[in-house]
Amino acid sequence: MAQVQPPDRQTFLANIRQSGLLDADQLAVAAEILPPDARARSLARALVRQGLLTRFQAERLLAGRNTGFVLGQYCILDELGRGGMGRVFKAQHRTMNRLVAIKLLAPSLLQTDRAQDLFLREVRTVAKLIHPNIITAFDANHISGRYYLVLEYVDGPNLDQLVREHGPLEVGRACDFIRQISRGLQYAYEMGMVHRDIKPANILLCRGNAKAPQSVVKISDFGLARLHDSASDENPGTILTKQNTVMGTPDYLSPEQARNLHLADIRSDLYSLGCTFYFLLTGQVPFPGGTTLEKLIRHNTMHPTPVEELRPDVSLEAKAIIDRLMKKDPADRFQTPAELAAALEPLAGHDSVAWPAPPVAPANTDDLFEAPLEPTSIHSDSSFELNSSDEVAALANTLIPDAGTTAHSLVIPLPSTRLLPGVHQQDRRRLWLALLIASGVVGGLLATVLLISQILVH
């Protein structure tokens, strides 16, 4: 495969000029940084060190790109994540110098008038959510037919990344984080909002400082789960947007939401929060391994490994809270997030989480741009365009790409006879037959779960 060579110095400077990233004075500084015979790569390194360009910008300019760096009043600084819902960029308001996260939504989500109307209704509601534990939405707009959201930028990791990099959290800290999330959910609940995709990757951790040493967590992606449902007018009342595809995050999906997105109420969010609590304390999801369908069946019919077996220091009170959150019947759970927050109050620690602050610029730029760029790393029209592979992946969050391990939308595979090793051989045959029949119809998931429940009971 042919490699793309970086442009010469003059072409590189021309790309910068056309990009709109630097003003006339900054361009003059850029032209004088290195001798006229210096290569474009050397100039790019120097500009990144000087803080005039980000690495993201320099790489694309070296690749011959000179557009896609400005979106309305915002200058794009970096790409933070991408997936089936679109892309997430770190950006800066050019007048206010405020850092934000911009979600550019995938065109497939907003192809119909119904989807666009739903988007506008959702963002107007989300704009009213002003709470310390919810990511603030600053703006929503569209440009050249592409819709985007401007959100509060959080400079810490999400909880999925935090646990996977540093291990399970201290019990008091985990209780505090869940209590904070509960407060955010209670506020949204009182405003008539249900999240529908609570999971560690959608909870962001803010950096503490001397004035506010306590770590604060914030919920992201309010109002976006329903956009997947709106992409299909064919089955508006179900989260099965096409045959053998289920919407949601299987590791954290409540039993009732697996059957119908519109059955999800605040108690479904609390079930997902229970799964999140389990992950924070144990470092693993409640039902690890297996296919999407197998996970959904386990959420409906089985109990996870008791948290105390994986984490002996978990108190009886914390264990009881997790068990209640993950009850199969919504009526057996906490009925509101406020109830949960009150139960967690005596268990919550209030210390901050420390981790290294990111450098203003890369600590070492000597290795930047050494290898020629592959054509696959360059997008043909605009840095905001989506590759076809993005349509089947999950948008990680508003901060870190590839932090989640479970996609938001997955194709249900063919039935397996290895779903539940504890089921007797005769029951396995009945189970296999039920799955085979049920997986071919729109309502197959519900029928499958109900039939398996009967098999296990009898």
CATH code (residue 204): 1.10.510.10
CA distance linking residue 220 with residue 151, whole number of Å: 9
Tokens of 442: 């729109």
Domain annotation covers residue 176: yes
Domain annotation covers residue 44: yes
354: phi then psi, degrees, rounded to nearest 5: -105, 140
Give per-residue pLDDT as tens, 200-254.
Answer: 999 999 876 555 557 899 998 886 655 544 444 333 333 333 444 445 689 999 9
If you average pLDDT over each of 82-96, 112-126, 232-246, 383-397, which comes out highest? 82-96
Q: Which helix (H) or strand (E) holds 178?
A: helix 171-190
Domain annotation covers residue 27: yes
Give per-residue pLDDT as tens, 64-107.
Answer: 898 889 888 899 999 988 766 678 999 999 899 999 999 888 77
Is residue 174 located within the same domain as residue 313? yes
Find out whether 244 and 411 touch, Cβ atoms under 8 Å: yes
Give me the number of domains the chain comprises: 3
Is residue 324 located within the same domain as residue 220? yes
Residues 6+ apart with CB under 8 A from 369: 6, 41, 44, 45, 58, 59, 62
Is residue 180 located within the same domain as residue 284? yes
Is residue 313 located within the same domain as residue 203? yes
Domain annotation covers residue 274: yes
Domain annotation covers residue 396: no
Find out whether 168 and 281 touch, Cβ atoms under 8 Å: yes
Q: Which helix (H) or strand (E) holds 377?
A: none
Give per-residue pLDDT as tens, 268-316.
Answer: 999 999 999 999 999 999 999 988 889 999 999 999 999 999 999 999 9
Residues with catalytic function: 197
Domain annotation covers residue 30: yes
For residue 142, count other CB atoms closer than 10 A to its CB: 15
Given 294, 329, 347, the domain boundary residue is 347
Domain annotation covers residue 401: no
Is residue 195 located within the same domain as residue 342? yes
Residues 6+ apart with CB under 8 A from 403: 81, 157, 158, 160, 161, 164, 201, 396, 397
Given 347, 378, 393, the domain boundary residue is 347
Domain annotation covers residue 231: yes
Is residue 38 located within the same domain as residue 176? no
Is residue 28 located within the same domain as residue 168? no
- Supply the pTM of this predicted model: 0.75
The backbone region for 401, taken as left when phi is positive above 0, alpha when psi lies in -120 to 50, beta otherwise, is beta
Residue that has been written with the tokens 């990099």 in this structure = 165
Domain limits for position 49:
10-67
4: phi then psi, degrees, rounded to nearest 5: -95, 120
Given 347, 370, 391, the domain boundary residue is 347
